[in-house]
Amino acid sequence: MIHFFDANIEKYGSAHRQNEWSHRTIGDYALSAKADRDVLRLLNRVKFHVMDAIREFFGVRFIYPQASQLVIWPEGSEQPEHVDTYFPDTSFSAILYLNENFEGGETFFIDPAHRILPQVGALLAFDGATLEHGVGRVTRGTRYTNAMWFTGNIRSVGP
Ligand SMILES: O=C(O)CCC(=O)C(=O)O
Ligand SMILES: [Fe+2]
């Protein structure tokens, strides 16, 4: 995934560098319109495993995908506290940590205060529309994640 991200961000990131985020994410919606089927299949497989894990862990019956993105967090990047209300009716946000050979870059929560040190292969799932969270500054190296958003409302399913 990391290799794919590095090799394809110019191809699948936004066509033009519009803002800080445009060359930091590759969305599955970009891949579905284009060629790299193996990566899309892998992202989909991950997404369905994550939905299974959320159903089982949180005891919810219905959950639908909204978006899945590969994200790069270069040295010096961070994300201030926020809630995930970009997509309508998000009920769960999930982060799959793809590497850990960097420093900083913890996912943090405000209330209750909590910090999660990324471990490769670990999955973090939480109610991202309600719980304020953010990402501490990456102080050395580069952080990579697969970020996903899910809804319980079938009318708010992603593209
Ligand atoms: O990468 C993380 O730990 C969290 C990212 C996040 O909160 C977001 O993209 O909305
Ligand atoms: Fe978030």
Count how many domains the chain has: 1
Ligand 2 centre distance from Cα of residue 130 (Å): 10
Distance 84 CA to ligand 2 centre (A): 5
**pLDDT value at 22 more than 70:** no
For residue range 64-122, what is the model confidence (pLDDT) as tens digits?
999 999 999 999 999 999 999 999 999 999 999 999 999 999 999 999 999 999 999 99
Residue 143, domain CATH: 2.60.120.620
Give the lowest-confidence range in 16-30, 33-47, 96-110. Answer: 16-30
Backbone φ and ψ for 19, nearest 5 degrees, come out as -155, -175
Cα separation, 68 vs 26, whole angstroms: 9
What average pLDDT score do residues 36-59 get?
A: 94
> Range of 57's domain?
2-156
Cβ–ligand 1 distance for 84 under 6 Å, the answer yes
- Rounded to an integer, the average pLDDT of 27-48 is 85
pLDDT interval class at 126 (50, 70, 90): very high
Burial class (CB in 10 A: 0-12, 13-18, 19+), 145: buried
The overall average pLDDT reported for the chain is 91
To test the pocket of ligand 1, the residue of 133, 138, 148 to mutate (highest count of ligand atoms within 8 Å of its CB) is 133
Most informative mutation of 77, 79, 82, 98 for ligand 1 (most atoms within 8 A of CB): 79
Structure pTM? 0.92
Contact yes or no for 136/115 (Cβ under 8 A)? yes
Residue 37 has what pLDDT? 85
Distance CA 56, CA 40 (A): 24
